[in-house]
């Protein structure tokens, strides 16, 4: 890894943020009338989670929300990205709002505002109500309409204080890993039969954006998981495989939002998208910012004979790896941002909605000296600054995550946090990276106020 010390910041001041997701930190899976989600179903499936753990109590954050507000405030971030689980607000995905749950998130919003932190909620971080999945889930257009109803209930309660919203988190992962190959909830293995979920998620975003704006929102967007796709070689087969993977992972999700049309997937032998009149116009007009979650590039080769997929994801040569085995190539983030801005010169401002890394750390610890994480974050912030210096409009950078948490199908085996969590006791201990990020934010503001290199 590179040096843990950041280079001087020379670009216009970014907003700084950190993030969590409800299912990963909250626990209290049945508190306040919470319903059941596809992740409850997935976790309860034998063998689905690598360490056979569950997300209860996780970080116990539903009960310890005041502690976590203090951790957020201590960083000095501008905004805090958290998620509101649909099944707490509408336990079955339809019907009236659960007042007790809305009270909880109202207190969270007030607590953040009292500490000078802007709340930046995500309405959907993968927790589809089980009853809606039983009716077809994101394969059905009706789920988009139900999502708009849910958004209206939340906006009616919180919209007087919350002006910035993420609608969806990483629709690509829902499609590819959730419905395509079954690695994540709902655990379906439809391969290219999962593609209708792309359109229904983007339609849900468009419907919710209209609802949120009507309730007074001034900044609405979603965040896509993007990867810089690298061909394994210059062979025609590898180049075609990389192009196809880039289309499915990246462009299927970005092009409707940023260009008003899907890539020509039928020319690639894929099924047409289930688009109705007016859908693409709604989707293309839905963004005030474009969120990008970035962790690593993906190297792609042509698949071997007999493979069910026309591409193969292979190791990225000469790249160090995170605890997840993900390659660390910060320049890939810079190049991804430059490519997007080149192809979409009129795109809205970019928000980095997640960036971070897991590394092996003890389950019980005092202060963790996580120099690898500091090096990763420093290098990726540097990559963002390089993109800004070349004209890309990036307005915000978000570290994933505030604290160690339940890492989906990997349970408690991966730690991304700026704060160490002892999952037996619930004790939170800021790591070295927490102090480093706090100081970076402080120093960036001092430099701006003094009229430095900015």
Q: Which residues are designated catalytic?
A: 170, 354
**CB-based contact 189:181 (threshold 8 Å):** yes
> In terms of DSSP H, where are the helices of 76-129?
86-89, 99-114
Which residues, 6+ apart, have CB-to-CB distance to 318 below 8 Å? Answer: none
CB 67 within 8 A of CB 59: no
Enumerate the β-bridge partners of residue 420.
429
Query: Which DSSP string corresponds to 120-186?
Result: EEEEESS--BHHHHHTTGGGSTHHHHHHHHHHHHHHHHHTTT--EEEEEE-HHHIIIIIIIS-SSTT
Closest CA to 75 of 401, 378, 322: 401
Question: What's the DSSP call for residue 22?
Answer: H
> 428: phi > 0 → left, psi -120 to 50 → alpha, else beta; which?
beta
User: Can you tell me the distance from the alpha carbon of 12 to that of 440, in angstroms, rounded to the nearest whole number?
Assistant: 14
Q: 351 vs 2, 73, 146, 171, 258, CA distance in Å?
A: 25, 20, 27, 16, 14
Count Cα atoms within 13 angstroms, Cβ side, for 316. 19
Which residue do the tokens 């493979």 mark? 307
- How far from chain centre, in Å, is Cα 184? 14
| Sign of the dihedral defined by the CA atoms of residues 251, 255, 144, 88, in that order | positive
Q: How many CA atoms lie within 13 A of 169 on its CB side?
A: 24
Which has the closest alpha carbon to 398: 289, 322, 251, 320?
289
CA distances in angstroms from 383 to 82, 355, 386, 438, listed in the order given: 25, 12, 5, 19
- Whole-number Å distance between alpha carbons of 214 and 306: 51
Can you read off the two tokens belonging to residue 121?
A: 């909620």
């Amino acid at each position: 890894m590179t040096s843990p010390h950041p280079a001087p910041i020379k670009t216009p001041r970014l907003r700084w943020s950190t993030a969590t997701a409800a299912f990963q930190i909250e626990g209290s899976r049945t508190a306040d009338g919470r319903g059941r989600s596809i992740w409850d179903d997935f976790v309860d499936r034998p063998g689905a989670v690598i360490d056979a753990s569950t997300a209860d109590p996780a970080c116990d954050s539903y009960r310890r929300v005041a502690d976590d507000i203090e951790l957020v405030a201590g960083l000095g971030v501008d905004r805090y990205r958290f998620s509101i689980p649909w099944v707490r607000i509408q336990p079955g995905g339809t019907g009236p709002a659960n007042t007790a749950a809305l009270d909880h998130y109202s207190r969270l919003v007030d607590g953040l505002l009292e500490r000078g932190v802007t709340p930046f909620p995500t309405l959907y971080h993968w927790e589809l109500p089980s009853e809606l999945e039983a009716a077809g889930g994101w394969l059905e257009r009706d789920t988009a309409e139900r999502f708009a109803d849910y958004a209206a209930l939340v906006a009616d309660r919180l919209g007087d204080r919350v002006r910035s919203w993420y609608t969806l988190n990483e629709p690509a992962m829902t499609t590819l890993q959730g419905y395509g190959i079954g690695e994540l909830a709902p655990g379906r293995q439809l391969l290219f039969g999962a593609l209708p979920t792309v359109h229904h998620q983007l339609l849900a975003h468009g419907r919710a954006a209209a609802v949120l704006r009507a309730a007074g929102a001034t900044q609405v967007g979603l965040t896509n998981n993007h990867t810089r796709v690298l061909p394994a070689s210059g062979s025609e087969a590898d180049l075609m495989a990389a192009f196809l993977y880039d289309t499915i992972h990246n462009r299927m999700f970005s092009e409707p939002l940023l260009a008003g049309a899907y890539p020509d997937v039928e020319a690639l032998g894929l099924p047409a998208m289930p688009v109705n009149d007016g859908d693409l116009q709604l989707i293309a007009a839905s963004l005030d910012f474009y969120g990008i979650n970035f962790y690593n590039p993906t190297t792609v080769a042509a698949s071997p004979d007999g493979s069910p997929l026309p591409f193969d994801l292979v190791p990225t040569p000469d790249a160090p790896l995170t605890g997840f085995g993900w390659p660390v190539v910060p320049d890939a983030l810079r190049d991804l941002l430059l490519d997007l801005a080149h192809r979409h010169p009129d795109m809205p401002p970019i928000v980095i909605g997640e960036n971070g890394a897991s590394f092996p750390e003890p389950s019980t610890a005092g202060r963790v000296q996580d120099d690898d994480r500091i090096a990763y974050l420093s290098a990726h912030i540097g990559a963002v600054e390089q993109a800004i210096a070349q004209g890309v409009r990036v307005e915000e950078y978000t570290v994933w995550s505030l604290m160690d948490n339940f890492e989906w199908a990997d349970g408690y085996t991966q730690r991304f946090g700026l704060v160490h969590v002892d999952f037996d006791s619930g004790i939170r201990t800021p790591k070295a990276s927490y102090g480093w990020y706090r100081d970076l934010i402080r120093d960036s503001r001092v430099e701006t106020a003094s009229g430095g290199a900015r």
